[in-house]
Chains A and B, each alone.
Chain A
Amino acid sequence: MTVQSSPDPVIAYRQRLMAACTAAKTAELLDALADFGPLPPYRDLRAPECGLVMLRGKIGGDGAAFNVGEATVVRAAVVLGSGEVGHAYQLGRDTEKARVSALFDAIAQKPNSRHRLTDLVIRPVEERVEAQRRVNREQVASTRVDFFTMVRGED
């Protein structure tokens, strides 16, 4: 499933950042935080909390919607001293990861900080994910079997 990128460049950037934060390992985000340099003053607006989200689906993508099941989601919101509010919603229960992601989302709203986030968070995570995908594709390709159908006679 692909996400429609917003026409607003800041929102599109934040979407890309959020995808990277979600795909990142907690250690990667904590390293990025440590390498970020001086952080703006911030505090929890909504401390990380875990909850359940009911997933809705449709068989084959159409028909009546039904409840697929519940997924654990952790959410956090952080507010900077200058007023920007960052949010994070992620599957799982990793509260630290959610808080750091929300902080990055808030920082992403400061134009001067975006290049640091791109260098420290987005680019390394996207490269790692793409490298992993390449390895997976190659491994899967090596197991590929080509089937040939025998055309039988009449009847």
Chain B
Amino acid sequence: MQAQALVLAPGFDDPVHESQSVFRAAMTALSRPGMIVPLHVDLLPPTMLTPTAAALALTLVDFETKLYLGAGLDDADDVQRYLSFHTGATMTAAPGHADFALVADIEALPPLGVFAQGNLEYPDRSTTVIVQVQGFDHSLHFEGPGIDGRIAFGISGAPARLAVDLEDNRARFPLGVDLVFAAPHAIAALPRSSRLVKV
């Protein structure tokens, strides 16, 4: 067996406590849509994967879940090996069958309808989409469960179609996908219950 050309990067130093912190951050972000939750992680994943997104993957993804890697991540050998090794997840090329999806940046986010939407008996059997983003802004406005009145929240550099996509996603409620955004030192989330409002 020849030596691997790509050196496999390590995962969490302290998997128990670090994954707990990341999980708590994700839970807070999903229950308070649009709230920016600080998250500092000490990871050096393969280049195409950001430390925050890697932390979310290592925490949420395991051998029982199927993972879809979006454009830019799917052809990076070292990303696949890193995630397979540390999470044990099976990769799938079909976003409609994925429990989790990792998207390289907000531009690369496909129409949310391509992902698993869940079904009426099990709406939770949908894809949770983790999107790597540069940062957040106040370009859109949301209302809904977990939001006190209304919140101004958006993704920096997001294309115009994101708002349309989010509206379509909301229209499929209680089905649809939940989005977790991974920025350099923070995360935020938009579960399917959040409604886009025009101000």
- Of B4, B11, B13, B86, the contact of A85 (CB 8 Å cutoff): B4
Question: B6 touching A46 by the CB < 8 A rule?
Answer: no
Question: A79 touching B7 by the CB < 8 A rule?
Answer: yes
Q: With the chains together, A82 CA to B4 CA distance in Å? A: 9
Cβ proximity bits A58-83 to B, threshold 8 Å, 1 near / 0 not = 00000000000000000001010111
The reply to whether the CB of A44 lies closer than 8 angstroms to some CB of chain B is: yes
Q: With the chains together, A126 CA to B85 CA distance in Å? A: 32
Question: A46 touching B1 by the CB < 8 A rule?
Answer: no
Question: B6 touching A83 by the CB < 8 A rule?
Answer: yes
Chain B contact surface mostly: loop
Question: A46 touching B3 by the CB < 8 A rule?
Answer: no
A contact residues, total (Cβ < 8 Å) = 18
Question: B4 touching A83 by the CB < 8 A rule?
Answer: yes
The reply to whether the CB of A49 lies closer than 8 angstroms to some CB of chain B is: yes
**Interface size class for chain B?**
10 to 19
Question: A79 touching B8 by the CB < 8 A rule?
Answer: yes
Q: Which of B1-26 contact A (CB under 8 A)?
A: 1, 3-8, 10-11, 13, 15
The reply to whether the CB of A115 lies closer than 8 angstroms to some CB of chain B is: no
Q: Which residues of B contact A49 (CB under 8 A)?
A: 15
Question: A45 touching B10 by the CB < 8 A rule?
Answer: yes
Residues on B facing A (Cβ under 8 Å) = 1, 3-8, 10-11, 13, 15, 85-86
Residues on A facing B (Cβ under 8 Å) = 8, 10-11, 43-47, 49, 77, 79, 81-85, 109-110
15 contacts across the A-B interface (CB closer than 8 A): A10-B1, A11-B1, A45-B85, A46-B10, A46-B85, A46-B86, A47-B13, A79-B8, A81-B7, A82-B3, A83-B3, A83-B5, A83-B6, A83-B8, A84-B3
